[in-house]
Structure 1
C-alpha cells in the first residue's frame, strides 16, 4: 500500500538535489567559518556564497540576511530584538489573533516581562485582517507591526504589500512570518516593502534546523543569542554551514519551480476540497476559499473527533494533521479556529491536508474515497445507541 503524505505544512522531505549540495559539508568540508586556515576559509566561502544566493532571491543585500536555527528563532529575533532596541521610542506592537505561536508567545513574553503593550487584532471568518483595523490600532507609541504572510493552519494569504505601505507611512517597522509562503509566493522584499521577514528551510524541502531573518539594513535590532560575533553580531554560534548551503539550494528550487508547481497544486487542492464538500455532508472549508496557499485544504467535519479520523486515515497510510504541528500536543481548540468563529461541534473535527511535490491526482482520489468511508463510519458509531 502506497503511503500518501499530506502534511507538507509541518515538514517536507529533503530534496535529493539539496542533499547532494549539502553532502560535502556533512563530512569532508567540516571547517569552522571563523577559523583562519584552509578548511575554515573554505567553509566561510560556502557560507558567503549561500548568503549571496539567498539575497539574490529576496532582492536584498547579503548583509541583510541573518541565518538562524529555525523559523521560530528568526521570529524571536525579529520581535524581541526590535522591541528592545526601540523601547525609548515606544512600547506598542500590533499583531493578529491568527499568528503562529512563535509570534504570539514571543509577544506574550514581552508583554509580561518587559512592559510591552500588545494589540491583537481580530480577523474575519476567513482569517483576513482589516487594513482599516490596523490603521486605527496605531498609536504614537507603536514601534512594530507583525502579521503573518500565509496562515499555517487555514492557508489564508494576507495583503503584505498594502500592510507594509501603512507601516511605512507611519514610520513603523513591519515584520512578516513568511515560513509557509516561501514555496509558492514571491519573496521580493523590495516589492513586499517589509522591514523584517522570517522563513525556514524545513517547509521548502530543505534541511531542518535552519532559518533566516531578512533585516533591512537601516532597521536596528538587538541580539537574542549572545556569544561570538557571527551573523553581524546578531546571532552568536558556529554557523550550520551544511544546513545553510542546503537552505540556499532549497530556496532556489522552490522559487524556480513555483511557476509550474503552484498551478499543479491548486488543481489538486481544488479537486480535494470541492469533492469533499460535495460528497460528505456537514463539513466546511476553513480559510479564504480563493486567496489561499495552493497546497492547503483545511476542513472541519461536524460531530467528528479529529484524532479518531486521523487514526483511520493512518491505518490506510494517509498522513494528515489536525492543525499546526507546533501545537498538536494540546487538546485545546486551535486559536486560529477560535479567531475565525468555528463552532465547537465543527472545530473538534478539523483536519488539515497540505499537499506537496509528491502528491498526485491518484493520491487525491484515494484520500477522498477513504475519507468518505471513515467519516461515515465515525458518524454511524456516534449516532448508534
Structure 2
C-alpha cells in the first residue's frame, strides 16, 4: 500500500515547511511565484513547478541541496545562487552518497555550478538550460554540470552556455553524455581521470575547446560536432585506449595563435596519448588539422578527412609514423594522387609533412618562402633522396574521395 501524497505550495515558508514534513514518494508542486532563500531536501520526493515558479537564492550558497537518494526536480526556474566555488555553491547541490537523482527540464542561471555532485551514482540531468555569468572570467565560473567520483551518470539534451566547462567529469566511470549543446565556455566536455565513458550527438560552438580527454581511459567519443573552437576540437592528453570516430570539427582558429608557440587552433591535438583510434573524422578549415607531440606516436589514424586546413599535420617527433590501417588511409585535400585501378586508393604514399615543414615551424619568420620556386625545388630534391633516417608521417594508402567510408 502506498501512502505517497501530492501537495502544493505558494510561498517560501510554505515550501520549507512542506519539505520538512514530506515523506518518501511524496510530490510537491510549486505554484507560480518567487521562492526566496536556500532549500534543503531530506526525503525522497519529487519537486516540480508550474510555469513561472522561480527559486531565487538571493546570491548566497546553493539554491537547492539534496541530502537523500531518489529525488526528482523538474520544471523549475532556479537563479541567483552564490559564486563561491570552494564551497560548491550550486543551483542544485547533490551531497555525498546520494543516488538516483533526476534533474529534468529546469532553467538554471547563476554564478557557481549549475548542478554539482560528488561520490554518487545514477544521476540523470536532462533537458535543462544552464547558464553562468558572462561577466566573470571563464575560469572563475562554475561548470554547468560538475561530477566528481560519480558512477553511471546520464547527461542528455541540455543547453549549457557562459560557464567554465559544460560538463566536467572527474574520476568517474560509465558516464553517458549525448545530444547536448555547448557554447561560450572553456570546454564542452572535460574528462579527467575518467574511465569507460561515452559521448555522442553533442555540439560545441564558440568554445575554447570542444572535447578534452585528459588522463582518462576507454572513452568512446563519436558523432559529435565542434565549430569555431579557439584551441582545439578534440584533445587527447595522456589518454589511452579510447576511440575518437565520426566527429566533425571545423574552423578551429586562434586569432592570437603563433607558430613558434604552437597555440594555433587544432582540429585534434594528441599530446602524450597512446593506444587510441582516431578514425572516420572530418577535420576541416582549421589552423592545423592534427597536431601530435610529446609521445603521441602510438595511435591508429585512418579513414579521416583533412580538408582545407592551413596546415594539415604538425608532428613534433623523430619517428616514422604510418597513418593507415588495413590498406586504408586518410583523405587529404590538395593531394593530387593517381588511382590507376579506381579502387579509391591513391597509387603512391603521401607525406603530409616533411623536413622543410619542420624548418618553417622552427623558423616561422621564413614562412613567406613556402610557395617560392626555391622551396618547390627543395621539396622535389627531398622526395628523390632521403637524408638521414626517415621520420614524420606517411600515409601509404591515401584516399582519393572525401566521402569514402
TM-score range relative to shorter protein: under 0.3
Higher helix share: 1
- More strand as a share of residues: 2
Compare CA radii of gyration and give the structure with the larger one.
2
TM-score, length basis structure 2 = 0.21
